[in-house]
Amino acid sequence: MILSQFEKQLNIKFKNQDLLHQALIHRSYLNECPNFRLGHNERLEFLGDAVLEIVVTEYLFHHFPDTAEGELTNWRASLVNSNMLAEVAEAINLENYIYLSKGEAKDQNSKARKYIIANAVEALIGAIYLDQGIRPAKKFITQNFISRLDLILENQLYLDPKSHFQEKSQKVHNTTPHYKVLSESGPDHSKTFEVGLYLDKELISKGKGSSKQEAQVKSAEKGLQKKGWKNN
């Protein structure tokens, strides 16, 4: 695979091309090509995760000196979570360059695929750090992650749906929401839960998921939409 176009897009010319290649190699690819000369990207992902976190942490520490630690932790989580990583991956067209098994390449819309792509962004950060040093790595993180902070703060996207709904319901209705399992279906190893979100006795919304927690989050997301609280 020729990655020169990807380098142009990143505005980074790698000294060691193997680092860029390895950042984009998922373990599944090597299952089909065991003699490929490079390894998978998991060690680079481990490094990139740490680089991303320290750069974001340092930025928040210096730019928000009066903000409490708990609040900064929430903001940081919103900048480095898997959803944000997946958004960045999409923005830089990383999926066009990643090495996957044929099976993984076909499975385009699964949660597993989303995590694979998100993890590859961390591996890319690790590769940039090793090849270019901390300044180019920090520049990449600033352009692709920290640049999204204003939008996150403006729309309170640092709150997970359950926390967001609870905050709004306490403020607007002076009531704390609660959740109730409405139904369970499927075998023990693959259950589907339906959970209702309530304010007092009023059913606000329902959500389904493979765990009670996931179903609660889905119902909170729907509740935010129904109440018109999603972006305020």
Spell out the domains of the chain, with CATH numbers in brackets: 4-154 (1.10.1520.10), 161-227 (3.30.160.20)
Phi-psi region of 175 (alpha: psi -120 to 50; beta: other; left: phi over 0): beta
Residue 71 · residue 47 · CB < 8 Å: no
**Residue 49 catalytic?**
yes
Please tell me whether residue 141 adopts helix, strand or coil conformation. Answer: helix
Cα(46)–Cα(129) distance, integer angstroms:
12
Q: pLDDT, tens digit, for every residue of 159-168?
A: 788 888 988 8
Closest CA to 229 of 173, 146, 149, 145: 173
Residue 130 φ then ψ, to 5°? -65, -40
Residue 174 · residue 195 · CB < 8 Å: no
Closest CA to 99 of 176, 162, 25, 181: 25
Which position has the token pair 């998978």?
Answer: 40
**Residue 188 catalytic?**
no
Cα(195)–Cα(207) distance, integer angstroms:
5
Choice among 45, 104, 122, 131 that is catalytic: 122
Choice among 45, 49, 131, 221 that is catalytic: 49
Cα(61)–Cα(170) distance, integer angstroms:
30
Angle between helices 42-63 and 111-132 (to 10 degrees): 80
Residue 117 · residue 84 · CB < 8 Å: no
The token pair at 67 is 């903000």
Q: pLDDT, tens digit, for every residue of 64-108?
A: 999 999 889 889 988 998 889 999 999 999 999 999 887 777 666
pLDDT per residue as tens, the chain (232 positions):
678 999 999 999 999 999 999 999 999 888 888 888 898 999 999 999 999 999 999 999 999 999 999 889 889 988 998 889 999 999 999 999 999 887 777 666 667 788 899 999 999 999 999 999 999 999 999 999 999 999 988 877 787 888 889 888 999 999 999 999 999 998 888 889 999 999 999 999 999 998 898 899 899 999 999 999 876 6
